[in-house]
Structure 1
Amino acid sequence: MINVNPFKPTVVFVDDDENMLRGVTRALGQRYNVISFSEPAGALSWLRENHRKVDVILSDLAMPGFSGMRLLREMVSVAPNIPRVLLSGHLDNSAMNKAINTAFVSCILSKPAPIELIRKSIEQALSSRVIDLAGTLITPGLVMRAIKNNGYSVVFQPRIDAKTGSACGLEVLVRFPNLQKRFLLEEIILACEGHPAINLLTTAVMNEVRKQAKDIRSRFDFSPTVSINCSPYSIRNNCFLEEILHFRSDMLLRDIRIEVEITEHSDIVKDPAFLANAAILKNRGVAIYIDDFGSGSNSVELLETGVFAGVKIDREFIATANGDCVKSSFAEWIVKASHDLGLRVVAEGVEDAKVAQRMQALGVEEMQGFFFARPAVLKKTPTGAFAMC
C-alpha cells in the first residue's frame, strides 16, 4: 500500500524514463505526493483502486508497447475528472488536437521540460479542478488560500439535552466571511471534498478549538462534548486518523470530550478502509455520528455497520415533522430504528417550540437549531438551560 501525506495534493507520474521519474519525484516530493510508475499498466491498475486520492496525472504520451492515445482513453475511463498534464518529445498539431479532444488535458509540455515548468503546470491543473453550482465557480485552491490567509472563522452552536433542556455541548462550524460573499457555504465545503483542502480545513478547525478549549470548558459545570465535522475522505487516510486521535488526547487533557460528524453522501462511507479507521476511532473513544441522516442513499446500509454512535436527522425531516405525515413518519422510524440498534439520535434544524416538543415526544437524545440559538462566536453562544415552549 502506498501511503500519502493527507495535506499534500497527489500527483501520479507515468513515464518510461527512469531518470525522469527519479528527478521529478525528488524535485517535487516536498510539495506533492508523487506516485510514480514506469509503465502504464501498473499505473492504470493502481488508479482503478485509488483514483479518489489523486489530484493530477502527469504522463508521458509515448511509451514502448502502449499507445499514448490508448493510455489517455483508459485514464479517462478510470479517472474522468482528474486533470492531465502530458509530456511529449514531439507532437504535431493533429496529434495535439486529438490528445486534447480525447481527454481533459490541462496542458502539453515538450520534453525535456524544466522542473519549474512542470510544477507550474501541475499548479494550474490543480486550480482548474472546479465545481459549477448555481452558476458559480469555486476551486479547492481558493479555499486553501483562504485557510492559509486566515480567511475563515469558527462559530459554535449549543447541543441541547432533550430531557433537561440544558446545553450539553457544542458543535463547531466554519465560516468564510469573504468567500461567502461570492459562494454558498455548501459550495465551498463541497469544493474541498475529496481533496487535501478538506484535511487542511479540518485541521484548522481543530486548532481553533485547541485555542479556545479553556474558555469552552469554563462555560460548563461538567465535561462537555464538542463535535466537529470531518470528511470520510479524511478519516480513511491513516495519517489524518492520527491527527484526530492527537486532537482527542489534547481535548481530554482539557476535560472535553470529542465527537465526529460525517455525511453519508459519499460512497467512501462504504469503503473498507474508512470503516476500519472508523472502528479504530470508536475503540479509542471517539464517537462518530452520521450527519444529515436520511438525505443520502447510504442511510439504512450504514446503520448496521457497528462503527457509529448515533445519527443526526436531516433538518428536512425535522422542520416539517408536524405538517407532513410522510416526513413525520420517517423521522419517527429513524428514532425507533436507531434506538433498536443502540444508537443515539440528534434532531437538528429545530426552529420552533412545536417541533422541539415533537422531538422530545419521539425520544431523541439531543436537539440543535435556531429555536435554541444560532451559530455564533463562543462568547455569544448560550450554554445554560433553554425553555421548550
Structure 2
Amino acid sequence: MKVPHTSAAGLGRWLTLANLASAATALLVASVLLIVFQFLLLRDAMVEDLGVQAHIVSDNSVAALLFNDGRAGTETLNALAASPSIQAAGIFTLGGRQLASYTRGRAAPVAAPAPSLLEAGHRFGVTRMELVRYVDSEDVHIGYVVVRAGLDRLYGRLLGYIGLTLSIAAGSLAAAYLLVRRMRRRVKSAEAHLHYLAHVDPVTGLPNRHAFNERLLFALSRVDRAGGSVGLLLLDLDNFKIVNDTLGHQCGDRLLELVAQRLVDCLRSADVICRIGGDEFAVILESDAGTQGALISAKILAALAEPFAVDVHDIYVTASIGISVYPQDGANLETLIRNADTAMYQAKNKGKNAFELFRPELDQRVQKRLSLEVNLRKALERGELELYYQPQFSLKDGSLVGLEALLRWNHPELGMVSPAEFIPVAEESGLIVPIGRWVLCTACRQVAAWREAGLGDVHVSVNLSARQTKDSQLVEDILEALRETGMSPGQLELEITETVLMENVHANVELLQRLQTEGIRLSIDDFGTGYSSMAYLKRFPIDQVKIDRTFVRDIPGDGDDEAITTAIIAMAHSLGLSVVAEGVETEQQLDFLRKAGCDIMQGYYFAEPGTPERIQAFLRNSTVPTEKIRA
C-alpha cells in the first residue's frame, strides 16, 4: 500500500491557509462581539435619552391631567418635534383614556400601553421602541406618558460601526496575510539553509556524509527494484595532516576545495561524489559499477598526480582508494561501506597512492587485525611483552657502546608475534603510548639493575613513535623514569624516524630541543627513507643518524645503495654527527661501511637481539672478537 505523500510546498500552503483561517475566525468572533456590544450600548443610550424626554413631558403634564386639559397636554407633546427619532407620543389617564397625542408625519398614533409594557417600562420591536413613564402628583400616579421612537438612526449608527469594524477586520486580515506570507518566506529560507547545512559540506560544496548515506540508500533500493549494481569508492588523501600542520588549516581547506574540483571532473554525470570526513571522499557509481570502479580510480589517481597551486605553494597529493560493489560485496549499506573501507586501508598498506578492490580475504585480514588489537590490549596486563636488547659496537676499537631496546610480544597461544604485525596496530589504536611508556621505564630499570650488578653504566636506545611525540606527558614520563632509576640522561638515547619528525616540524624541533637540554641523546632512525637532506639535518638538534637496513642489505654490489650510504655518512660527519649502520650481517658489508667511515655497527653479524640474561655476556666482555673488526 502506498503511503500518501504531501510535498513540503503543499504542506506550506496548507499551513498558510490554516493560519489565515484561524486569524479570520478570531477576527470574525471579535467583530461580532464588538458589534453586539455596540448595539447594546446604542440601545441603552437610546432608552436613556427617551427616558429623559419622557420624564420632561411627564413633569409638564401634571396640570393637564389634573384639570383634564387636552389642549395643554398636546402643547406639551409638540415639544417632542425637536427630536427627529420620536415618531409618536401620548398622555394617558390611569384608566387608559388618551388625553393628548403627538405624531410625526404619517406615523400611527400610540395606543394605551399593555400591562406588560407598564411593568417593563420599555420594549423594543424590529423597527421601533416604546417607552412609558408615570405622571405623579404628590407621589401619586395620576397618568402616564407613552413615547414611541424609530430605530432608523440606531441602525444607521450601527451599520456605520459595522462598516468600520469590517474595514478594520479586513485590514487586519490583509496584514495577517502579508505577515504570514513574510513569515512563511523566512521559514522557507531557514529551512533551505538548514537543509544546505545538513546535506552540503561548506568547504568543498559537495554533499556531506548525511547526504551520502541518503543517496547511497536510494541507489541500493533502485538496484533492489530494477537490478544492476552500485559501486562505492572510498578515497582518503595520503598524509594530508602534514599539509594542515605545516601550511595551516586555511591552505588545507583550499587544497580540499581544489581536490574536490578535480574529482568532479573525473566522474560521469550520473556519478555522485561526497565529502564524508576531514580528508575522506566517497564516490557512488550507479551504472556499470563492476567494470568502472577500477577505471575511474585510476583516472582519479592520475588527476591527483598533478601539483595543486595553493597560494605560493605547489602541493602534491596522493590518495588511497577502496572499492566495493553492491550487491556482491555487501548486502546492505553498512557492510558495503565497511568493505570499501577495508579495501582502502589495504591500498594504504601497499604503499599508498593506489586503489584496491575488495576481496573476501581482505575482510579476514581486518578480523585478524581486530583480534590482534584485542589481545594487544591485554598483553601489558598479562606480562606478555618483553624487551630484547641488541648490542651496538664501535667500529674503531670493537667496544660495546650501547644497546637498542627492541619490543617483543610472546603470546601464550600465538607464540612470538612479529613486531611488523603488532606495532602498526598499536600505533593506529593508540596503544603505542602506554606500551611506549612501559618500554621506556622497563629499559631504564634494566640499565639500573645492570649497574647494581656491577656491570657498569650501559647506554640504551629506545624508539619513539609518532603518537608518543604528540603526548604532552612524554618529557615528564622520560624524566620521571630517569629519576626513579638514577640513570644519567646521557645514558639514554631516543630514536625517532624521519617520517615522524616531518609530520610536525615546528613542534618536533621544540620537543627535541627540550630533550637535548635535559642531556638526553637523540638519533634519527631509518635515515635515508624519507626527507634526507642537509637542510633538514641542520634543523633538528640531534646527535646521531642510523642508516636504514634497506640500504645496508644490498651492499656491496648495489651501486645506488652504496652511493646513498656513502653520502649519508659524509653528510652526517660534515655536521658533526655519528653514524650507526643497522642490519649488518656479512663481513663484506662491514668492510664497505668501515671504508666509508661509519662509526657504529649493529646487526646479526655481531650479535642477535637477546634477553636481559643473555645480553649480560656482552656486558662482561664488552668487545667483539678482533677477527670481526679488522683495521
Question: Which residue does 1:204 correspond to in 2?
Answer: 438
Pick closer, same or farther for the CA change 1:220–1:159 going to 2, 3 Å.
farther
Looking at structure 1, the residues matched to 345 and 377 of structure 2 have their Cα atoms a distance apart, in angstroms, of: 15
Question: Which residue does 1:227 correspond to in 2?
Answer: 461
Looking at structure 2, the residues matched to 304 and 270 of structure 1 have their Cα atoms a distance apart, in angstroms, of: 16
Pick closer, same or farther for the CA change 1:220–1:165 going to 2, 3 Å.
farther
Q: CA RMSD in A?
A: 3.7
**Aligned residue identity for 1:365:** D
C-alpha contact (below 8 Å) 2:509/2:540 kept by paired residues: no
TM-score, length basis structure 1: 0.64
**Which one has more relative contact order, counting CA pairs under 8 Å at least 6 apart?**
1
Q: Which of 401, 404, 420 is matched with 1:168 structurally?
A: 401
Distance apart, 1:242 and its partner CA: 1.7
Distance apart, 1:254 and its partner CA: 6.3
**Aligned residue identity for 2:466:** P
Q: Tell me, what secondary structure is at the counterpart of 1:238?
A: coil
Distance apart, 1:372 and its partner CA: 1.0
Question: Which residue does 1:76 correspond to in 2?
Answer: 276
Instruction: Say which one has the larger Rg.
Output: 2
Question: Which residue does 1:138 correspond to in 2?
Answer: 369
Question: Which residue does 2:169 correspond to in 1?
Answer: none
Q: Tell me, what secondary structure is at the counterpart of 2:551?
A: helix
Question: Which residue does 2:197 correspond to in 1?
Answer: 66
Residue correspondence of structure 1 range 34-53 to structure 2 within 5 A: none
Unaligned runs of 5+ in 2: 1-193, 201-206, 213-273, 282-330, 351-361
TM-score, length basis structure 2: 0.41
Q: Which of 341, 345, 356 is matched with 2:575 structurally?
A: 341
C-alpha contact (below 8 Å) 1:217/1:254 kept by paired residues: no
Question: Which residue does 2:624 correspond to in 1?
Answer: 386
**Aligned residue identity for 1:66:** L
Pick closer, same or farther for the CA change 1:76–1:279 going to 2, 3 Å.
farther
The one-character-per-residue Cα deviations of 1:204-229 (angstroms, maximum 9, x if unpaired) are: 11232244233333577653211011
Residue correspondence of structure 1 range 1-389 to structure 2 within 5 A: 66-67=197-198, 72=209, 76-80=276-280, 100=334, 136=365, 137-139=368-370, 140-178=373-411, 181=415, 184-217=418-451, 222-253=456-487, 257-266=491-500, 269-295=503-529, 297-300=530-533, 302-381=536-615, 382-383=618-619, 384-387=622-625, 388-389=628-629
Looking at structure 1, the residues matched to 592 and 559 of structure 2 have their Cα atoms a distance apart, in angstroms, of: 13
Looking at structure 2, the residues matched to 98 and 267 of structure 1 have their Cα atoms a distance apart, in angstroms, of: 42
C-alpha contact (below 8 Å) 2:545/2:580 kept by paired residues: yes
Q: Tell me, what secondary structure is at the counterpart of 1:355?
A: helix
Looking at structure 2, the residues matched to 355 and 174 of structure 1 have their Cα atoms a distance apart, in angstroms, of: 26
Question: Which residue does 1:18 correspond to in 2?
Answer: none
Pick closer, same or farther for the CA change 1:164–1:153 going to 2, 3 Å.
same
C-alpha contact (below 8 Å) 1:161/1:366 kept by paired residues: yes
Distance apart, 1:100 and its partner CA: 5.0
The one-character-per-residue Cα deviations of 1:250-287 (angstroms, maximum 9, x if unpaired) are: 45546871011112234754442222212211222122
Structure having the higher helix fraction is: 2
C-alpha contact (below 8 Å) 2:547/2:565 kept by paired residues: yes
Aligned length: 292
Distance apart, 1:166 and its partner CA: 1.2
Unaligned runs of 5+ in 1: 1-62, 82-96, 106-127
- The alignment-based identity, stated in percent, is 23
**Aligned residue identity for 1:375:** P
The one-character-per-residue Cα deviations of 1:67-118 (angstroms, maximum 9, x if unpaired) are: 067553787341549xxxxxxxxxxxxxxx998599769xxxxxxxxxxxxx
Distance apart, 1:385 and its partner CA: 0.7
